[in-house]
Structure 1
């Protein structure tokens, strides 16, 4: 069983990753572990409290990690241990999947310098916040979801499409195409 690390921090957009996490564990038989900068509980954007399973620095030593899932949330500083984990997984060509403002972490780690990507964070917002733009804008594509090799990025409003891109990349619906198609149809009918 492979492991997917899910980075969580205060005010992260939990709704953007619940479908992905649910199907990764239930259909893909993956272990999804929440990792924070430390083991302190964090409150998501929805007001729910999550307790990390491990600290990011400890995730660096895990074996059988298949990828890193990064939800959106506020634009904020990045600690070195997250940058190290992203760079390590990038070098190993493991899945790096980030949605909404989540690609900011990939940008700061240098992963987006050589890959096409998308994000919900517009240049105007960065200017209003008065922070350094973490994105190499020349690589930006105005699309709902962008996959460039093992890196998947998506706009926040495309969290369903983002989830399906992850499912397809990890091939969790192998031999279950009808089930995948029905799940997508059910979600789109709501």
Structure 2
């Protein structure tokens, strides 16, 4: 059983990934680890404090990683150790799943140059921020969720659909289609 990692950094959008990790851990029985630039706690968008289990440097030496999930958050700089880890996972064809502004990290690592993707971050927003656009816009598709091989991206408002795309990729509900479909219906019915 492999580890599913979650990259956390200051002001990350924790609400976008809680459903995914709840079911990955409790239905899929997978080990879930948070990974950060350091062991220092970070405060999420919701104001909750999270302490990374491991650093990106420590994650580089893990032998049993199935994938990495990246929540949204502010557009910000990217450190080399994150880029190196993303490129390692990409070479190994491990799950790379990012939601909202999270795909920015995949974009800066060059992974989206060969992959179709979506994001919540518009060209207009990038212009307003006055920063370099991390996204190769020729590969952008305006959809709630886009899966291209081992890469899953989603717009922030699509966190339920994102979670289910990750479940399907990881086989969380393998052999339990009715349970999976009922959960989706229960969440989505108003």
TM range (shorter): over 0.9
Q: CA deviation at 1:189?
A: 2.3
- In angstroms, what is the RMSD of aligned CA positions? 0.6
Number of the residue aligned with 1:84? 84
Q: Which runs of 5+ in 1 are unaligned?
A: none
CA drift at 1:150: 0.2
Does the residue aligned with 2:187 lie in a helix, a strand or coil? helix
Per the alignment, in what secondary structure is the counterpart of residue 117 of structure 1?
Answer: coil
Cα deviations by residue, 1:144-175 (Å, 9 ceiling, x for unpaired):
00000000000000000000000000111111
- Match in the other structure for 1:147: 147
Q: Which residue of 2 aligns with 1:184?
A: 184
Distance 1:57 1:79 in 2: 12
Aligned residue number for residue 163 of structure 1 = 163
Counterpart-to-counterpart distance in 2, 1:172 and 1:100: 22
Q: 1:7: which partner in 2?
A: 7
Q: Any stretches of 5+ residues in structure 2 without a counterpart?
A: none
Alignment deviations for residues 45-103 of structure 1 (CA, whole Å, 9 cap, x no partner): 00111010011111010011000000000000001111011000000000000000000
**Partner Cα distance (1:186, 1:56) in 2:** 36
Q: Give the Cα separation in 1 of the matches to 2:57 and 2:69.
A: 16
* Cα displacement (A) at 1:178: 1.2
Equivalent-residue separation in structure 2 for 1:168 and 1:181 (angstroms) = 11
Equivalent residues in 2 for 1:83-162, closer than 5 Å: 83-162=83-162
Q: Which residue of 2 aligns with 1:63?
A: 63
Structure 1: distance between partners of 2:73 and 2:56: 17
Q: Distance in 1 between matches of 2:10 and 2:189?
A: 32
Q: Distance in 2 between matches of 1:131 and 1:58?
A: 30
| Whole-angstrom CA distance in 1 between matches of 2:32 and 2:85 | 16
* Cα separation, 2, equivalents of 1:166 and 1:102: 15
Large movers: runs of 4+ above 4 Å: none
Decide which moves more: 172-181 or 132-141: 172-181
Name the CA distance, whole Å, in 2 between partners of 1:63 and 1:94: 12
Which secondary structure does the structure 2 equivalent of 1:112 belong to?
helix
